[in-house]
Chains A and B, each alone.
Chain A
Amino acid sequence: MLYDVAIVGGGVIGCAIARALSRFHLRIILVEKECEIGFGTSKSNSGIIHAGHHASPGTLKGELEWAGNQMWDALHDELDFGFARNGELMLAMAPDQMATLEHYRRQGAGRGVTGLEIWDGERVRREEPALSATVVAGLHAPTAGVANPYEVCFSLIDNARANGVEILVDSPVAAIACDGDGVFTLSTRQRPVHARFVVNAAGVFADEVARMAGAGGFRIRPRRGEEYLLDKRLKGMVRHIIFPCPTPQSKGILVIPTYDGTLMVGPTAAFIEDKDERTTSAAGSDEIFAAVRRFVPGISERDCIAEFAGLRAVTDDEDFIIGPSAQKGFINCAGIQSPGLTASPAIAERIVAILRDEGLEMTPNPTYQPHIVRRVLFASLGLEDQVRLAAEDSRYGRIGCRCEQISEREIIDAIHAGARTLDGIKFRTRAGMGRCQGGFCSWRSMQLLSSELGIPMTAITKRGGNSWIVCDRDEGDAA
């Protein structure tokens, strides 16, 4: 089988590209190293759809942030993931930071970002009563929003798959060869993949993947960010995404009301060497809570229910690398850090245009269907709908995850949609994401995985690889 396009990397960028290309009559495959889609940077992401005024002009980031931002309503309408434009507030904590607010207001207005407005401290506190009395002013950006980044990946890939894209998971690319006819061969653990064009969306590993194809010449350094999730009890404490005044290195430590209503605080920003390291630290936790308490004094470590770390893929000049490479037919889409999620729909369209320029003929896919089948979110339904659904399928009435009130039917649907692991179930349904962190429900989710996939309990993992959960009594070797 010769594919027209092979996409390396199943994060939000790879998924968005796969889905954008599925509009055309093409043979497309997406190759992912992890055992499920979205398990790298996209899973451990702040989930912010940036307002459009953050990135500097003259950069790819600046261009694609605002272009991407404007595409999210249509995308949300078609793909039904958690998304809301709740707006952001960039805070001035001292009078000398007013100039920074004004700079960003002008920068945004200059590229057409709508609704930017500087609010005085009183107005800020009227809109957000939990903010500190020391806030001097805030730049309100109504175009900012939050999305569940993992849900975005799943929706994109589910739709791409429905439109004919093939997915190969658990398949790190070990080598890339290009023959005289311009056909690439990707060696993976499962099978070789032959394709005329390759799009490199390999996140923090994009430099290594590019090098395999002789299309390198850039470096990706992982910059780790720790984030801490707070109990849902605090839902509504803060409505906007709260930013401090940014520095050149980072947008700073934020308070993010996630789409599901959980508050998230973070991220830190520190370069690390190891692209697989996702540790959290006592220092990171201290830094974050001290930072956010300056503007939201009511936030406490005691409300923390989970923490995680994610890696940003950072290039030497901090901008995206998007375009053809020294190797004809090999397109790089690298260094996609913040505002990468925001820009992702625009990046995907940019890649479509580049592939066309590079000679990929594109005719419309006659069966393309942009909408996905809407997922049932049982807990959010009214009583009548719940009664009706539970009568149709009693598994809707059996609560699998009590903290997030997820029915067993929703968990089973997630398994049928591709969840293979406990994390897969968690990120597709939220089962296990709440305050008990799976203490109550993980055994039941494991039973459902075991019966639906026909595998023993001992074969179930948290997120693939050697992340086994339980072992047999009489087994000699646990692993």
Chain B
Amino acid sequence: MITAELRHLEPHYDVVISGGGPAGMAAAIGARERGAEKVLLIDREAEAGGILWQCIHHGFGLHHFGEELTGPEYAQRYLKQVIDNGIDVLTDTYVYDISPVRRLKLMSGSQGIRTIDAGAVVLAMGARERTRGAIRIPGERPSGVLTAGLAQKFVNMMGLLPGRRVVILGSGDIGLIMARRLTLEGVEVLGVFEIMPYANGLNRNIVQCLHDYDIPLHLSTTVVDIRGRDRVQGVTVAPVSATLKPDMSRAWDIACDTVLLSIGLIPENELSRRIDLRLDPVTSGPVVTSRMQTSANGVFACGNVVHIHDLVDFVSEEATLAGQAAGDYAMFRHLPADNIRLIPGDNVAYCVPHTLSTDREHTVYMRVRKPMEKCTIRFGSAFKTKVKYVFPAEMVNITLMPELLEKFHGDTLRIDVVQR
């Protein structure tokens, strides 16, 4: 594939995108659509595409392309568009620093260091996985406790197995996908343990990755001890009470050599912190406008760096918008100001974007705190809609038409999800 060379970079680009995963690629194309001429997509790996390369399972693209693709196929389609659009792709390069005037310090793995200036910047660095330390699992500290995504890298990219007998803690989608993947590799997957009374992954993954392979899912159960001096030798699991307290009288031991963790993702915002972007304490991502602009002028963000998505299709959608807005900004087009503020209310953990304008339609992404059936989603008195069920694992997206919003100019809209 065509890549830019660090030493041949221009001193100034209209739009620079940090991170060449699904969000970054869609943003780059969005920026070109709005006439940004010099668009630079930067990725730290040898090829753009991000985490999609290791997601060799299918299930991507149903919403966006209307057909079912694997991760690498989805990446390939976007990459082709990136190249066809004349976007410069700079790989093996790390955006090390960014200044408030959008000067970026780039470090290349083969060509040294240099700085460039950007008319607009799009942050698309994705997310990282929560680790053992984040939930402080008691016990020994042997090898063999690793995140599901790292295990996926070992298996799908490096042809290595993380172990032979695996217990999975947490029911996030990557863990469910890996339960099936490892089973297909001949690894014994002894069970998935989820502390909450409901699964944290998509229902289709529960069915296709666990049920179809007879892998038990233990809800309201967690790992309370990890044993093994050198390598994991076993774990103790215990059911938990409604307050998530383990009931040790009903605990049992499982001999295993590996514990995979699928306990959530955290937006990767180290770069965002360098320019003191306002972050949302719930999402751990930047607070964004309806055009995905952060609290810094000309700095946009999209994808998992803003909030954790469960489907890449919605990442692409959100990132296209961010890229288009970055293109407009870089081309000195006026971005209409947002004038409605959204506030998460009953059973709403967060919503993105954080503000809306009244000039066009918007998609609002949100997550609920707890499952609920037969409920109504209300945006203040502006809009309400009935839904059959909501689930923390499945992002809710609602499209709002401009005519609904017009009379709320200057207002705050509280979003509630309530039982009917």
The reply to whether chain A is a binding partner of chain B is yes
Q: A278-B140, A470-B161 are in contact. Are A390 and B132 (CB under 8 A)?
A: no
B181 close to A (CB within 8 Å):
no
> Which residues between 257 and 274 of chain B lie within 8 Å of chain A, taking CB atoms?
257, 270, 273
> Which residues between 120 and 170 of chain B lie within 8 Å of chain A, taking CB atoms?
128-129, 131-134, 136, 138-144, 146-147, 149-150, 153-154, 158-164
Interface string of B97-141 (1 = CB under 8 A from A): 000000001011111111100000000000011011110101111
Contact across chains for B113 and A282 when beta carbons are under 8 A apart: no
Q: Which residues of B contact A285 (CB under 8 A)?
A: 136, 138
Contact across chains for A402 and B134 when beta carbons are under 8 A apart: no
Instruction: Give complex CA distance A402, B270 in Å.
Output: 9
A293 close to B (CB within 8 Å):
no
Q: What is the total number of residues of chain B having a CB less than 8 Å from a CB of chain A?
A: 51
Contact across chains for A279 and B138 when beta carbons are under 8 A apart: yes
Identify B257's interface contact among A308, A438, A478, CB under 8 A.
A478
Contact across chains for A398 and B110 when beta carbons are under 8 A apart: yes
Contact across chains for B110 and A471 when beta carbons are under 8 A apart: no
Q: A307-B136, A471-B161, A471-B164 are in contact. Are A386 and B147 (CB under 8 A)?
A: no
Interface stretch, picked from B60-68, B224-232, B311-319, B346-354, is B224-232
A75 close to B (CB within 8 Å):
no
Q: Which residues of A contact B231 (CB under 8 A)?
A: 466-468, 479
Contact across chains for A478 and B153 when beta carbons are under 8 A apart: no
Identify B112's interface contact among A306, A394, A471, CB under 8 A.
A394
B94 close to A (CB within 8 Å):
yes
| Residues of B that sit less than 8 Å from A by CB | 44, 92, 94, 96, 105, 107-115, 128-129, 131-134, 136, 138-144, 146-147, 149-150, 153-154, 158-164, 185-186, 224-225, 229-231, 257, 270, 273
Q: Which residues of B contact A284 (CB under 8 A)?
A: 138
Q: Which residues of B contact A280 (CB under 8 A)?
A: 136, 138-139, 141
A436 close to B (CB within 8 Å):
yes
Q: Which residues of B contact A437 (CB under 8 A)?
A: 131-133
Contact across chains for B134 and A304 when beta carbons are under 8 A apart: yes
Q: Which residues of A contact B139 (CB under 8 A)?
A: 279-280
Contact across chains for B132 and A458 when beta carbons are under 8 A apart: no
Q: List 7 A-B contacts (CB under 8 A).
A: A280-B138, A282-B136, A282-B224, A443-B150, A463-B230, A469-B162, A478-B257
Which residue of chain B has the shortest Cβ distance to A408 in the bound complex?
B109
Contact across chains for B109 and A394 when beta carbons are under 8 A apart: yes
Instruction: Give complex CA distance A403, B163 in Å.
Output: 26
Q: A387-B113, A468-B231 are in contact. Are A278 and B107 (CB under 8 A)?
A: no
Report the minimal beta-carbon distance from A229 to chain B, rounded to whole angstroms. Answer: 7
Identify B150's interface contact among A277, A281, A439, CB under 8 A.
A439
Q: How large is the interface on A (under 10, 10 to 19, 20 to 34, 35 or more residues)?
A: 35 or more
A197 close to B (CB within 8 Å):
no
Contact across chains for B128 and A436 when beta carbons are under 8 A apart: yes
Contact across chains for A394 and B113 when beta carbons are under 8 A apart: no
A457 close to B (CB within 8 Å):
yes
Q: Which residues of A contact B112 (CB under 8 A)?
A: 387, 390-391, 394, 397
Which residue of chain A has the shortest Cβ distance to B165 in the bound complex?
A478
Q: A394-B109, A478-B257 are in contact. Are A305 and B160 (CB under 8 A)?
A: no
Q: Which residues of A contact B273 (CB under 8 A)?
A: 233
- A-B CB proximity, top 6 nearest: A398-B109, A462-B143, A306-B133, A466-B230, A470-B160, A467-B143
Which residue of chain B has the shortest Cβ distance to A282 in the bound complex?
B138
Report the minimal beta-carbon distance from A201 to chain B, rounded to whole angstroms. Answer: 22
Instruction: Give complex CA distance A435, B92 in Å.
Output: 22
Q: Which residues of B contact A402 (CB under 8 A)?
A: 44, 94, 270
A122 close to B (CB within 8 Å):
no
Report the minimal beta-carbon distance from B151 to chain A, rounded to whole angstroms. Answer: 9
Contact across chains for A397 and B107 when beta carbons are under 8 A apart: yes
